[in-house]
Each structure stands twice: as structure tokens, then as C-alpha cells.
Structure 1
Amino acid sequence: MEEVKNFIKECGAYFLATVDGDEPKVRPFGTIEIFEGKLYIQTGKSKNVSKQIQKNGKVQLCAMNKTCNKWLRLSGTLVRDDRREPKVHMLEAYPELKRMYSPDDENTEVLYFKDATATFCSFTEAPRTIKF
């Protein structure tokens, strides 16, 4: 899991795909952290992405590292964690978000991956998969 987090952080941004009815929706994200042995992302409950995840938690993200010409696909189910502690952890890791979010507001949302499968890919090597 640490390898997955580090790879995504090196990329700087990743794209998260959700389902909205029968349509895929993809948008850029930038938050990724490990807290209490789980891989978390952060968003706002007022956003469409949050509403889509609450209806169908199955998501996939993709991150490309141009430096090494490798990419990562991470699939799993996102689960909302409403506790204050993971929100504080995420906002400490991404202090720029404190302008928009607070661990005590009604909007801040952190979600962790459950039943995740990460596949590292490149054009020159066989894919390598990690499950957590």
C-alpha cells in the first residue's frame, strides 16, 4: 500500500472514475494518504463525485508517471469515514485544503479503499498487481 501511495504522490495528480447512472465520470484528484492502515482520498460531500460514490462506491483511479513511463490503475470500493481523526490527518498532509475544508464542517469527506487492486503497468514490463 505504501508503494501505491508513493507512486501516486510522485505523479502529483491522478484521475478518478466513478459511475453516474449508466455513464462514466472522470475527474482529476490530488489527495492520497495512508491512515490507520488504509488508503484514503478526500473530497467534499457537496460535490457530484461524492454523491456518485455514495450510490456506487466502485471506482478506479489512474495515475501516470512520465519520468519512468509507468502508470498505475487502482480499483476498489470507496467507503466514507466520518470520524474527525482521518479528516485531520488528510488536512495536515494537504494544508492548502484548509482554506476550503475543516475537519469539523459538514462538507469534508474522507474515503478509504476497500478490496483494492493496484496494477503497475508500463510499455516495457509485464503488469504487476498488489491487493489490499
Structure 2
Amino acid sequence: MEEIQKYLKECGTFYLATCQDGQPRVRPFGAVCGFEGKLYIVTNNQKDVYRQMKANDRVEICGMNKGTWLRLTGRVKEDTRREARQAMMNENQAALSSMYTVDDGLMTVFFFEEGTAVLSSFTQEPRTIRL
């Protein structure tokens, strides 16, 4: 989990794919954190992406950095605890503080219940990392 978190932070922007009515939906994300040994992402609970993850917990993240790319496929679950939101804010203060506060009723975090990441490049064999 720590290696995946570090990789995604180094990407800066990575892309999260969900599904709605059988149609893929992809959008940029930029904040991740580790909390209690799990990888977390954050969104606003008024957005379509929130509703999509609640309706179908299967997601995929893809990011690219320095000639390598990571694809993380898994299942996410909402964590409604304040401590989880606070951990996200603590690790991503600069990026998130203009959009959220921990207790604003909008900031929502999801963690990967399970997942498999594949780290690939054009010069090496893919490497698989399980969450």
C-alpha cells in the first residue's frame, strides 16, 4: 500500500474510472493518503463520482510517472469516520483546504477494501502488488 500511495503522490494527477449505466466515466484525481494500513481517496459527496462509487464499488486508477504507469483495480468502501477525513486533510492540506473542511458535510473518503496494482514500463516486465 505504501509503495502505491507514494507512486500516486509522485504522479500528481492520476485518473479514476467508475461506471454509470454501463458507460465508463474517468476523471482526474490528485489526493491520496494512507490510514490504518489502507489506501484512501477523497471526493465530494455531491458529485456523480460519489454516487457511482456507492452504486458500484469497482473502480480503477491509472497514473503515469517517469516512463512507468500504474493501474490499480479494486473495490472501494466509504469511510464515514472523522478520523479518516482528518488523515486525508493532514496529508493533502495544500490541495484540499481550498475545497473542503473535515466537518463540511461534503468531504468524503473511500478506501480500497481490496485491490491489485500492476506497475508497468516499456523496458521491464510488469510487477503486481496486492493491497
TM-score category (smaller protein):
over 0.9
| Equivalent position amino acid for 1:63 in 2 | G
Inter-partner Cα distance in structure 2 for 1:33 and 1:98: 15
Aligned-residue Cα RMSD (Å) equals 0.9
Q: Deviation digits for residues 78-130 of structure 1, max 9, x if unmatched?
A: 10000000101111211131222122122110000011101000111111001
One of 79, 84, 106 as aligned partner of 2:82: 84
TM, length-normalised to structure 1: 0.95
Deviations 1:42-66 (A, max 9, x none): 000001100000000100000001x
- Whole-angstrom distance in 1 between the partners of 2:88 and 2:47: 18
- Which amino acid counterpart does residue 121 of structure 2 have in structure 1? S
Matched residue pairs, number?
Answer: 130
Q: In structure 1, how many angstroms separate the alpha carbons of the residues matched to 2:122 and 2:97?
A: 39
Name the counterpart of 2:92. Answer: 94
Q: Matched residues, percent identical?
A: 45
Structure 1 outlier segments of 4+, above 3 Å? none
Distance 2:93 2:38 in 1: 20
Listed as ranges, the gaps of 5+ residues in structure 1 are none
Q: TM-score, normalised by structure 2?
A: 0.96
Is residue 127 from structure 1 mapped to residue 119 from structure 2 by the alignment?
no
